[in-house]
Structure 1
Amino acid sequence: MMQKTKKKKSKFWTLLIVIVVFILAFKSNIFNGQSLFGIIDGDEPGSIPVSTSNSADLIPSDNLHSPNAILVRLDNQKVLLEKNSKQKIFPASLTKIMTAIVAIEKLADLQKTIVLPNSTFRELYKADASMAGFTANERVRAIDLIYGVMLPSGAECCIGLAEHIAGSEKKFVEIMNQKAAVLGMNNTHFTNTTGLQDEKHYTTVKDLSILLSYALKNNTFKKVFTASRYSTPPTNVHSGGITFYSTMFKNLANPVIDGGRILGGKTGYTNEAGLCLASLAQKDGREYILVTAGAKGNHESAQYDIEDAYTVYDKLGK
């Protein structure tokens, strides 16, 4: 009789332990952004969302033109919106965020003069790349080239910096990929400094948010990123210098949002990439970054990437 009682107790405790283990495992998956039936945020199967937000905290992304988006609060890196954030995209000129931050970190003297050789321009003209307005054999300060990279999206500025720093664009791109690896941009690979279309040149909006969060810690980068216009001093070619205008601010009717303003941004576009935007906004005393990609349209259409920025930032705090 006692043996039967012991066996019953043993089965009871075994069953209780199994139930407790199951409950703990279930809770663990939920808090890691997963359920027993799949992932919450709708990204690719097998991936684990990096957001520590509960799904109820996320801002709805249903009304966005962009098929890929991520919104991050800068001070604590809390993800407030995700839409296909780990899906491979073509970054177009958002590539230049990496080009600029690497150049800033590698150059000891941003006042140093760099000569732009004729070879810098040949392939860029063929590719119909966006240019800042410098010409062959122009002598330009490094800081002016960095503004040329970020505001008018000048491809000649990217190549000029890359060749000066690393000897060639190819070697500079190796540094870009090394930086991406260090930052944990695990789904990114660069093949050029400009964002010109290449099937092997890809990233995700999640990785770009990691990059932008990092770059904005650099005071020089943040100053450039938030500038709406910039005038260079005279050069040996342009006696009056050149004035650059931010491609984002040119299309931004009003930077004011409810409770704050859009502080800066970098646009990107190719046929394959669609309209892309990486932006910084301040609202109710906090800073946020939003990266969107893949919106339909072009330079002549409505700027759906900017419309998405207004939509997302206006939803903050509501």
Structure 2
Amino acid sequence: MKRRYLAILLINAILLGGCQKSSDQFFAYQDYITSSKNDLGFNLSENEFFAKELVILDNEDSGYDDNLVTSKAAFLFDITNKKALYAKNPYERLYPASLTKLMTALIVFKRGELTDMVTISHNASNIPVEGAKVCGFREGDLVSLEDLLYCLLVYSGNDASIAIAEHLSGSEEAFVKLMNQEAQKLGAVHTNFVNSHGLHDDNHYTTAYDLYLIYNELLQYDTFIDIINKESFTSKYKDKFGNYKERTYKTTNLYLTGEKEVTEDITIVGGKTGLTSKAGNCLILLLKDGNDNQYVSLILKATNSNNLYTEMSKLFSLIIE
């Protein structure tokens, strides 16, 4: 009984603190707890919900300067000391663009075998969205799941994302169900995915704090941290005729390429970018200071690339103040 009361207090601390829409957040989580057994087919336990140490927003986290950044949502969390240094609109529903691929990657780590060989389908090689970022794989190409994961996170290839989804679940639709189930298990109850890549759909959305929950889970995997630290990646695969192919993909993270300068005493470990016309420019990062304290920072819906990195660097200044 004592543990149950403790769980209730912890949930209330998460839901009611530092959020202008705290009542909405509370009822969303309450509905989730009620439906987790009947609708989703699993029981929510305290151990599952609080399995990882999290940065919790409380009542003292509501007084940040919203004018520090003009982007729609942002945060800076000290994950070493479990402290929020900044948060703007952490629970507002927004489009995640390619930050969606974080959940796709998480499903790979939880359910996939990186040594699997994946045959690229017609769907994966023919994405009907003009300007969609693709790795250029062709129908029938044989690519390892590990290479697809690198292409997904380093280069943000949408074709890699669909290939992963179809390989692990048989179809992208079935894979999306897994994505949403996993989001619910992590407590990301204000998230709804409709695809594996983040190309725009009005019903495909998340929040800044939900993205933190997903990213926090990924940081438990050393391979994930290794991948997001790469400036580039070379994939070696076979085409449908058995010919060896090789392509090199450059990271979309301009901090890692050196195109954007990093604040002194800050080291960028890695992260994930996102961009669509509706989502704007997005970026989530893992970074550390000179004392090896680690941080997660996020910007959602910046107006352009320059503003994205300028405002992200403004967040870094809060670390060294």
User: Within 1, Cα distance between the matches of 2:193 and 2:70?
Assistant: 26
- Name which of 139, 143, 161 aligns with 1:140: 143
Alignment partner of 1:182 is 2:188: no
Q: 2:21 aligns with which of 38, 44, 49?
A: 44
Is 218-227 or 176-185 further displaced after alignment? 218-227
Q: In the alignment, which of 286, 294, 303 is matched to residue 301 of structure 2?
A: 294
| 1:64 aligned partner, one-letter code | V
The aligned residue for residue 276 of structure 1 is: 282
Q: Which residue in the other structure is 1:6 paired with?
A: none
Distance (whole Å) between structure 1 residues aligned to residue 119 and residue 253 of structure 2: 28
Rounded Cα–Cα distance in structure 1 between residues aligned with 2:238 and 2:70: 42
Q: Name 1:198's counterpart in structure 2.
A: 201
Q: How far apart in 1 are the matches of 2:66 and 2:142? A: 46
Q: Which runs of 5+ in 1 are unaligned?
A: 1-27
Query: Shift of the alpha carbon at 1:282?
Result: 0.7
1:199-230 per-position Cα deviation (integer Å, ceiling 9, x unaligned): 11110001001111110111111111221211
Identity %: 27
Q: How many residues align?
A: 278
Contact 1:92/1:270, CA 8 A, preserved across alignment: yes
- Aligned-pair CA distance for 1:59: 6.2
Query: How far apart are 1:130 and its partner, in Å?
Result: 1.1
For residues 297 and 20 of structure 2, the distance between their equivalents in structure 1, rounded to whole angstroms, comes to 18
- Tell me which of 102, 111, 118 is aligned to 1:114: 118
- TM-superposed deviation, 1:251: 6.6
Query: Where do 5+ consecutive residues of structure 2 fail to align?
Result: 1-8, 27-54
Partner amino acid, structure 2, of 1:265? G
Report the AA paired with residue 171 of structure 2.
Answer: S
Secondary structure of the 2:198 match is: coil
Deviation of residue 40 (structure 1)?
A: 7.8
Contact 1:96 1:150 in 2 (8 A): yes
TM-score (norm 2): 0.79
Between the aligned partners of 1:175 and 1:33, the Cα distance in structure 2 is 25
User: How many Å separate the matches in 2 of 1:40 and 1:55?
Assistant: 8
Residue pair 2:19, 2:91 contacting (<8 A) in 1 also: no
Asked whether 1:54 is paired with 2:31, we answer no
Over the aligned positions, Cα root-mean-square deviation in angstroms equals 2.7
Is this contact kept in 2: 1:153–1:247, CA < 8 A? Answer: yes
Structure with higher Rg: it is 1
Q: Give the CA deviation at 1:303.
A: 2.6
Within-5 A mapping of 1:251-266: 252-254=258-260, 256-266=262-272
C-alpha contact 1:274 1:294 (8 A) present in aligned 2:
yes
Q: Does 1:170 align with 2:173?
A: yes
TM-score by length of 1: 0.79
Query: Which of 91, 96, 100 is 1:91 aligned to?
Result: 96
Distance 1:290 1:140 in 2: 32
CA distance in 2, matches of 1:148, 1:233: 11
Amino acid aligned to 1:117: S
| Structure 1 residue 111 displacement after superposition | 1.9
Contact persistence 1:255–1:262 (CA under 8 A): no
**Which moved further from structure 2: 153-162 or 233-242?**
233-242
* SS of residue paired to 2:193: coil
Runs of 4+ in 1 over 6 A off after TM superposition: none
CA deviations over 1:151-199 (Å, ceiling 9, x no partner): 1111110111111110000000111111101100011110100101111
Write the distance in 2 (CA, Å) between the matches of 1:61 and 1:126.
35
- Aligned AA (1:43): Q
Displacement of 1:126 in angstroms is 3.7
CA distance in 1, matches of 2:61, 2:119: 52
